[in-house]
Amino acid sequence: MNSKRAVLLEFYADWCAPCLRVSPIVADLAHEFEGKLRLIRVNVDTDSALVEKYRVYSLPTVVFVVGGREVDRMIGSKTKGKYRAAIIKSLGQRKSIKS
């Protein structure tokens, strides 16, 4: 996760109803912030290493990683506006990490 771009990790499961609501929102925002943000979808049923590394216990969980470190996390289904605000905040932290 040492990407030059900010990384948004979306932890989900196919059987998780709230995840089904969040996924299109997160995908749309990843497209909106294309070039600044990389979306990685993590299926908790098939990628236990990342689930353990980021200590994900609830779904959906969205983790914001900048410069290889977690800078923010959102648990549960949120509005598009709340996710957008968290992305903007995380991108701001990316600038301060570069300095």
CB 42 within 8 A of CB 62: no
Which one, of 68, 34, 39, 38, lies nearest residue 53 by Cα?
A: 68
CB 46 within 8 A of CB 78: no
Which residues are annotated as catalytic? 16, 19
What's the DSSP call for residue 17? H
